[in-house]
């Protein structure tokens, strides 16, 4: 997502606002899950900066660049149905034992 240069600094200085704005559209469960993951995603970003330094580079990746390449849908699809808020019991009938 291209950001107007005027607002880029504001968003980089307010990473939570940036993150919340970058959550892709989806089901309510998808959006709710990713809203709760902001701390985890921020930690992954910090880890990526650390990898840049440990690899001999300059830690110059902007948070927005990290978010633009973050695979929200891929990680969501790898979650178990229960983690995505799907009640599997509601999708299949219960087992009946007749004696």
Q: What is the DSSP string of 31-44?
A: HHHHHHTHHHHHHH
pTM of the model as a whole? 0.78
Report CA torsion sign: 10, 16, 21, 22.
Answer: positive
Residue 90's Cβ-count burial label (10 Å; 0-12, 13-18, 19+) is exposed
CA 44 to chain centre: 10
Q: How big is the chain, counted in residues?
A: 99
What is the rounded distance in angstroms from the CA atom of residue 92 to the CA atom of residue 14? 44
**Cα–Cα separations (whole angstroms), residue 82 to 3, 79, 97:** 35, 8, 26
- In this prediction, residue 87 carries a pLDDT of 74
pLDDT at 16: 95
Q: So what's the pLDDT on residue 85?
A: 80
Domain borders along the chain are: 26-79
Q: Quick check: 28 and 10 in contact, CB under 8 A?
A: no
Tens-digit pLDDT profile for residues 58-97:
999 999 999 999 999 999 999 998 888 877 666 566 666 6
Task: Report residue 12's pLDDT band, with 50, 70 and 90 as the boundaries.
Answer: very high
Q: What is the reported pLDDT for 76?
A: 92
């Amino acid at each position: 997502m291209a950001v107007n240069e005027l607002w880029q600094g504001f968003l980089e200085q307010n990473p939570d606002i940036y993150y919340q704005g970058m959550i892709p559209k989806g089901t309510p469960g998808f959006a709710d899950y990713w809203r709760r993951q902001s701390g985890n995603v921020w930690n992954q970003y910090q880890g990526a900066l650390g990898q840049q330094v440990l690899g001999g580079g300059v830690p110059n990746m902007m948070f927005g660049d990290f978010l633009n390449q973050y695979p929200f849908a891929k990680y969501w699809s790898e979650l178990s149905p229960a983690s995505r808020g799907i009640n599997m019991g509601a999708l299949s009938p219960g087992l009946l034992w007749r004696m």
